[in-house]
Amino acid sequence: MKFIHLADVHLADSYNFDKTLSKKIREASWQSLSNILNSNKDVDFALIAGDLFERAYFTASDFKRLFSIFEDFSKDIYYVSGNHDYFDSYNSIFLENSPENFHVFGSENLEVFEKDKLRVYGISYKDRIFSKDLDLSISLDDEFFNIFLIHGDVDREESNYFSLNSKIMTETNFDYIAMGHIHKAHRIDGIYYPGSVEPHDFTDIYDYGYIRYDDGKVSFIDSSILKFYDMSVNFRDFDNEDDLLAFINQKLLDKKNIVRLEISSDKDIDERFIRNNIDAIYKEIHIKNERDLSDMVRLFPNSLLSLYSQKFDNSSGEIEKLALDIGLDAILRSKDD
């Protein structure tokens, strides 16, 4: 048996970037979904564990585009909703007209789809905040490959998103437990999170893609189009802008990179040259001028700044340097009451 497991695609999401970059991130999610399905047409079926789309922004034309992608895949797709794509009267109308190969768990109660020797159990959200006691005392038939498909948390009692007990789930003896909600790929015994198919902001620093199951072998596939980087460098560690640029580009993967870069420098630096030559589709560059603090110390030789700085005259370690920078910055920011 072969199948793929994905989750948290978040099609049509909204982002805190300018319109151009936000559009590129949204389109990458669409393209990533299409790429995953197109490159895995040899599998028996696909699992989608919730948050497929953003219901607040998903339009009729978006449903049409989504269903076209699913029809082209042609293999069975089993789908439960999550807290971002929960079912209400609006999206239920469109889902009723979905392709024949798209199997939707439309109830807030446990349901099962059966085909050949496969049984997929699942439950969908009916609201953004959705938590309930779920009875998993199921007598599974060993003649079938049994899958549990759900969107939620594991072992988090205070969660509003289906906090399930990992011990109870694994003791039920499902052959595979497919979950969504956590955007980082993760495994807990026989419970699997594939993570998001794409990163969405600078907090998304892991690998993104999906899980593929091949006759018992479980593999995480990094298939993302985008990659976010939040980098800090000190220009004093390089001879010139060319060396700095080479160092940065060497760190970047062969993806559509989105870079936020802070450069500490005690001398002038050609920011335009750096910006124009970073191998990224988006660059956010901040120059931190280190000359300001040292100049202030020299201008006021008998001040608190100078006295504090003298404590570090014979220090060269990174920790001492950091303590000096933080201390001088705090003194400059302070003021008399």
Residue by residue, DSSP assigns 120-141 as EEE---SSSSB-----------
Q: Return the higher-pLDDT residue of 305 and 291.
A: 305
CA distance 154 to 180: 11
Residue with tokens 């939040």, as numbered in its chain: 230
pLDDT at residue 17, as a whole number: 92
Retrieve residue 183's tokens: 């955007």
pLDDT at residue 161, as a whole number: 73
Residue with tokens 């696909």, as numbered in its chain: 46
Q: Which of the four pLDDT bands, split at 50, 70 and 90, describes residue 337? A: very low
pLDDT exceeds cutoff 80 at 331: no
pLDDT digits (tens, 9 = 90+) for 210-255: 999 999 999 999 999 999 999 999 998 999 999 999 999 999 999 9
Nearest CA to 191 out of 159, 164, 209, 223 is that of 164
What is the identity of the amino acid at 212? Answer: R
pLDDT at residue 87, as a whole number: 85
Retrieve residue 272's tokens: 């335009």
- Share of residues in the chain with pLDDT > 70 (%): 92
Q: Which of the four pLDDT bands, split at 50, 70 and 90, describes residue 52? A: very high
CB atoms within 10 A of CB 184: 14
Least confident of 18-32, 186-200, 239-253, 295-309: 295-309
Average pLDDT, the chain: 88
pLDDT digits (tens, 9 = 90+) for 56-83: 899 989 999 999 999 999 999 999 999 8
Mean of the pLDDT values across residues 146-155? 91
DSSP labels, 143-165? TSEEEEEEESEES-TT-SB-EE-
**Cβ within 8 Å of residue 273, ≥6 positions away:** 241, 245
- CA 288 vs. chain centroid, Å, equals 29
Give the CA radius of gyration of the chain: 26
Phi, psi of 264 (to 5 degrees): -85, 135
Question: At 89, is the secondary structure helix, strand, or coil?
Answer: helix
Least confident of 36-40, 85-89, 185-189: 85-89
Q: Which of the four pLDDT bands, split at 50, 70 and 90, describes residue 281? A: very high
pTM: 0.82
**Cβ within 8 Å of residue 86, ≥6 positions away:** 55, 124, 125, 126, 127, 128, 130
Nearest CA to 90 out of 64, 124, 125, 56 is that of 56
Q: Return the higher-pLDDT residue of 330 and 7.
A: 7
Nearest CA to 137 out of 165, 115, 118 is that of 165
pLDDT exceeds cutoff 90 at 130: no
Distances (CA, A) of 70 to 4, 35, 174, 256, 263: 14, 12, 26, 25, 45
pLDDT at residue 296, as a whole number: 62
pLDDT exceeds cutoff 60 at 328: yes
pLDDT digits (tens, 9 = 90+) for 155-200: 877 777 777 878 888 888 899 999 999 999 999 888 999 999 999 9
pLDDT at residue 134, as a whole number: 72
pLDDT at residue 297, as a whole number: 66
pLDDT at residue 293, as a whole number: 57
Mean of the pLDDT values across residues 320-325? 75
Q: Which of the four pLDDT bands, split at 50, 70 and 90, describes residue 135? A: confident
Q: Which of the four pLDDT bands, split at 50, 70 and 90, describes residue 107? A: confident
Kindly tell me the sign of the dihedral angle through the C-alpha atoms of 122, 123, 125, 130. negative
Per-state percent for the chain, helix, strand, coil, to nearest 5: 30, 30, 40
Kindly tell me the sign of the dihedral angle through the C-alpha atoms of 287, 288, 290, 291. positive
pLDDT exceeds cutoff 90 at 203: yes
CA distance 258 to 197: 16
